[in-house]
Amino acid sequence: MKRIGILTAGGDTPALNATIHGAVTRANQLKVEVVGLIKGFNCLFNPRVPHVHLNPLYQNIPELDPTKGGTLIGSSRDFVDPNKKDDLDMVASRLQKLGIEGLICIGGDGTLNGLQPFAERLPTVLAPKTIDNDLGLNYPSEPDEYVRVNDATAKHGFRYKRTESHTQFDLNSIVNYATPGYATAVFVSASGVERIRTTAESHRRIAIIEVMGRHSGYIALGSTYGQPDIVLVPEIAPDLELLVARVKHLYDLQKNVVIVCGEGIVDEQGRELGAETKSTDPAGNVVLSGASEALRSKLIQMIGDKFFQLYRRGESAKEAIFTRKVGHTQRGGRPILFDRFYAAAQGAKAVELLVEGRNNAVSVLQYNTTKGFFVEGWGLIHARKMHPALYDPKLMKPSKLGMDYLMPIFTDAIGEDDMEHTRRTLFAAGNLSQPYHSINTDVHKRIRYLQAETV
Ligand code: F6P
């Protein structure tokens, strides 16, 4: 294999450039050229196929910086319709004209689905990324628990139903223990929780902090490092009576309460509290917004004003209970050490998979209590939910196993250089006087196109 393509698809994460850097560095060693495809799958539908050579003469271009968040080649949530065979053949011929013999897609579960029709046309592998940490398997046999059932209302006349699990869950059996971007997202959300606590404490208020993750509770689980009192995850519907009793008890004791909720939390009927609107993004995902607001309304109604008046801590429940979203800061900025290191390793592994002749494979991050972390190639994985054994619904916190899950990732996740970087750069005098210099400005100058006549 002499030349491969690489693209980043779906929502950005802080570790995308680290994955690209790892891939390009390994490609340099193997004397493989790497072509970055601009704006994910979107560029393949543009007859000019904007692209950039990431390692001319097997040297990384200087713009490729693994410590910078986002992606220098851009990303989009555009995906390919697997039924449009002609479009797919056209895309394959464009890649062929560029001399691309294999493709690395850096993405999450949407990208994994999106790359399937490509894998029928050229060797294609996935390097995972997603702050939601919802890509992998809880144990290798998990896909066997899904059976196909006929359903006239489903798009293709059938759907997959999950059957009961008969497998013991243990940490060593997780396939793809953590995805690049997750650790940095937790770093941001846990720091946010820590900071909001002081306001809740000073003003005797109840804070509900909404974190990202869609239907996956991993970010909420990890936010426990910020020491919230209560953590709610989408995988397990909270018992509202128990929640209210716990909030009242804590408020009585410490005059403030901090609750973390995943944006995808559901009620006992499984309805998403946050799906205020039924809008979807281009990849078909339901746009979740408002879980914390919905939860606030429930608490206001169930606790009532009297409770706060009695304590002389405010006129109303509305005044006492407030919400904040950590928002897109979870997805941006400099990746912390754990993400940089393993994202790069997974990028490098993706190149090796292609060179070894693998197709439709995934470079996964594995963990073993004796061996620690290591990367390897894997076949079938899919979107996963956080295993319920990681959460204790009575305590509304991570279970013992949940803590055991988090510790290998986070104990040494922050590098000394991460803190030093903040110390040196945040208040640099130049930040006040110099305009922001976007990576897009530099990369744009390097973009090449397929010649019009060869399209
Ligand atoms: O999948 C990553 C993610 O950040 C989710 O946690 C969140 O729900 C969603 O993307 C937000 O997407 P957008 O950036 O399109 O608003």
29 alpha carbon to ligand 1 midpoint, in Å?
A: 35
With helix as H, strand as E and coil as C, how does 215-284 read? Answer: CCCHHHHHHHHHCCCEEECCCCCCCHHHHHHHHHHHHHHHCCEEEEEECCCECCCCCECCECCCCECCCC
Q: Give me the mean pLDDT over the 54-83 stretch.
A: 95
Confidence at 453, pLDDT banded by 50, 70, 90: very low
261 alpha carbon to ligand 1 midpoint, in Å?
A: 15
Give the atom of ligand 1 at the shortest distance from the alpha carbon of 330. 4
The string of pLDDT tens digits covering residues 338-362 is: 999 999 999 999 999 999 999 999 9
- Ligand 1 neighbour 130 (Cβ under 6 A): yes
310 alpha carbon to ligand 1 midpoint, in Å?
A: 41
- Ligand 1 neighbour 216 (Cβ under 6 A): no
Which protein residue's CA is at the shortest distance from atom 8 of ligand 1?
214
- Ligand 1 neighbour 214 (Cβ under 6 A): yes
Rounded to the nearest 10 degrees, what angle do helices 291-303 and 240-254 cross at?
70
Of 129-133, 166-170, 349-353, least confident by mean pLDDT is 166-170
The string of pLDDT tens digits covering residues 418-451 is: 999 999 999 999 999 999 999 999 999 999 998 7
Of 114-123, 228-237, 281-290, 397-406, least confident by mean pLDDT is 281-290
Pairing label, strands 33-37, 51-53? antiparallel
The string of pLDDT tens digits covering residues 373-395 is: 999 999 988 899 999 999 999 99
222 alpha carbon to ligand 1 midpoint, in Å?
A: 17
pLDDT at 433: 97
**The model scores a pTM over 0.75:** yes
The yes-or-no verdict on residue 282 having pLDDT over 90 is: no
Residue 403 makes CB contacts below 8 A (sequence gap 6+) with none
Of 31-35, 164-168, 188-192, 428-432, least confident by mean pLDDT is 164-168
The yes-or-no verdict on residue 73 having pLDDT over 60 is: yes
pLDDT at 328: 96
Residue 351 makes CB contacts below 8 A (sequence gap 6+) with 4, 23, 26, 27, 30, 32, 104
The yes-or-no verdict on residue 95 having pLDDT over 60 is: yes
Sheet with 33-37, side-by-side order of all strands: 51-53, 33-37, 3-8, 102-107, 124-128, 361-368, 372-378
